[in-house]
């Protein structure tokens, strides 16, 4: 990815229009004790971030950056409902809107609220707001659990309360301090000589801001390995290591020191699916990756990911992805050829 100097000015007319609209929408908001509403400031930060992301994402899809924890996303059109595995990260949209469905529940994130995922989860997702002129733009921040744990110890925060719904995915209001730190992190991409020193400092600030939010209890659970998420995380790790093998719930329950019934209930509460359903999604996602990466037959891939029946594999693959395995892989290759490589 090419880097250009940050001295390039932001288009004032675009920013002015976005700020004017945000200020109008916020004009009726009344602050407490003479407080100035923060909506215009948040709109300004989103507008500048949107410009920076648009400049750095020349094509649709994901774009890794020189900061390993940070990835950028762009889509110029709404997308179809697409099954996939949502990776553990914080997702911040600065332009557009996206829906993610987990366990029958729909989560919406846009410039007013961010999405956080603490475990790899099977989801169905779609971008619902995007145009070529105003594309969907998002940042993915992969959070270091060790850094979170160090901050919790350093700040003396109390032990997390295990009083939430248990789901390993949630949305929270996108506050101005978090956006401000993200802007400074993205700006550092234009100063590669500063990255080794300043990027860790800004990342540390971002973790601190996240811990100050309403979901600090969930984040603390992830960082220190406590609460309902911990044993489900262990079960998921075991399933991922043995996804091509027959899954015995009794064996899995022993691995994480739980009864089979308790594991099933807790796993579904956290991940939105049962352990068996989770394994099936892993198998089908891996099968799709294999079909795209080599010329193996659908039957060979079926056996490689653990299916005993190629016909059952084809049925379940088509049910999830909408087309039989080989036809789906051909369609994805054709779409990738039309879109061209990410830059």
DSSP alpha helices (H): ranges in the chain?
12-26, 39-56, 145-155, 176-187, 195-212, 216-224, 228-241, 249-255, 260-271, 275-293, 298-304, 310-321, 325-339
What are the tens digits of pLDDT across the range 24-54? 433 333 333 344 445 788 899 999 999 999 9
Neighbouring CB atoms inside 10 A of 201's CB total 13
| Per-residue model confidence as pLDDT tens digits over 124-147 | 999 999 999 999 999 999 988 888
| Together in a domain, 332 and 193 | no
Percentage of the chain surpassing pLDDT 70?
80
Q: Tokens for 60, please give them.
A: 């649709």
Statement to judge: residues 216 and 262 lie in one domain: no
Mean pLDDT of the region 282-310: 92
Query: Between 334 and 237, whose confidence is greater?
Result: 237
CATH of the domain at 209: 2.60.120
Assigned domain for 53 exists: no
Same domain, residue pair 97 and 205: yes
Q: Has residue 153 been placed in a domain?
A: yes
160 pLDDT tier (thresholds 50, 70, 90): low
By the 10 Å C-beta count (0-12 exposed, 13-18 middle, 19+ buried), 341 is classed as exposed
Q: What is the pLDDT of residue 163?
A: 52
Domain boundary among 192, 224, 256: 224
Q: Read off the pLDDT band of 22 (50, 70, 90).
A: very low
Q: Is the pLDDT of residue 168 over 90?
A: no
Measured CA to CA in angstroms, residue 173 lies from 101, 102, 170, 295, 301 at distances of 19, 19, 10, 45, 43
User: Of 176, 210, 209, 214, whose CA–CA distance to 38 is shortest?
Assistant: 176
Listed residues 224, 248, 265: the one ending a domain = 224
Interacting residues of 58 by C-beta distance below 8 A, sequence separation 6+: 343
Domain count, the chain: 2
What's the first-to-final CA gap in the chain, in angstroms? 5
Query: Max alpha carbon distance in the chain (Å)?
Result: 68
Q: Residue 317 maps to which CATH number?
A: 1.10.10.60
- Percent of the chain beyond pLDDT 90? 63
Most confident of 142-146, 288-292, 295-299: 288-292
My answer on whether 164 and 305 are in the same domain is no
Query: Is 20 domain-assigned?
Result: no
182-205: pLDDT as tens digits: 999 999 999 999 999 999 999 999
Is pLDDT of 285 > 90? yes
Residue 173 lies in a domain: yes
Position 337 pLDDT exceeds 70: no
Whether the pTM exceeds 0.75: the reply is yes
Shared-domain flag, residues 165 and 268: no
Asked if pLDDT for residue 161 goes beyond 90, the answer is no
Same domain, yes or no: 195 and 241: no
Q: Which residues contact 106 (CB under 8 A, 6 or more apart)?
A: 99, 100
- On the CB side of 119, CA atoms within 13 Å amount to 29
Range of the domain at 121: 59-224
CB 40 within 8 A of CB 27: no
């Amino acid at each position: 990815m090419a880097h250009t100097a940050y001295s390039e000015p932001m288009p004032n007319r675009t920013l002015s229009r976005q700020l004017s609209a945000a200020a109008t929408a916020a004009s009726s908001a009344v602050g407490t004790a003479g407080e100035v509403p923060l909506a215009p400031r948040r709109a300004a930060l989103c507008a500048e971030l949107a410009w920076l992301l648009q400049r750095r994402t020349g094509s649709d899809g994901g774009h890794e950056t020189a900061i390993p924890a940070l990835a950028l996303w762009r889509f110029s059109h709404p997308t179809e409902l697409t099954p996939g595995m949502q990776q553990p990260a914080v997702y911040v949209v600065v332009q557009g809107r996206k829906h993610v469905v987990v366990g029958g529940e729909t989560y919406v994130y846009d410039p007013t609220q961010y999405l956080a995922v603490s475990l790899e989860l099977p989801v169905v997702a779609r971008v619902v707001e995007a145009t070529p002129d105003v594309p969907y733009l998002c940042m993915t921040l992969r959070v270091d659990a060790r850094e979170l744990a160090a901050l919790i110890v350093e700040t003396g925060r109390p032990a997390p309360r295990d009083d939430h719904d248990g789901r390993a995915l949630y949305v929270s209001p996108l506050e101005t301090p978090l956006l401000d730190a993200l802007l400074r992190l993205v700006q550092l991409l234009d100063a590669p000589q500063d990255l080794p020193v300043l990027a860790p400092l800004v990342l540390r600030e971002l973790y601190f801001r996240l811990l100050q939010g309403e979901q600090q209890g969930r984040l603390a659970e992830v960082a220190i390995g406590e609460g309902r998420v911990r044993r489900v995380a262990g079960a998921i790790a075991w399933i991922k290591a043995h996804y091509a093998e027959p899954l015995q719930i009794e064996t899995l329950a022993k691995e994480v020191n739980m009864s089979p019934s308790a594991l099933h209930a807790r796993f579904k509460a956290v991940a939105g699916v049962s352990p068996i359903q989770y394994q099936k999604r892993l198998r089908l996602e891996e099968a799709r990756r294999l079909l795209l990466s080599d010329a193996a037959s659908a039957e060979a891939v079926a056996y490689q990911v653990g299916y005993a029946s190629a016909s059952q594999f084809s049925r379940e693959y088509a049910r999830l992805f909408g087309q039989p395995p080989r036809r789906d892989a051909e369609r994805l290759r054709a779409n990738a050829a039309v879109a061209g490589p990410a830059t």
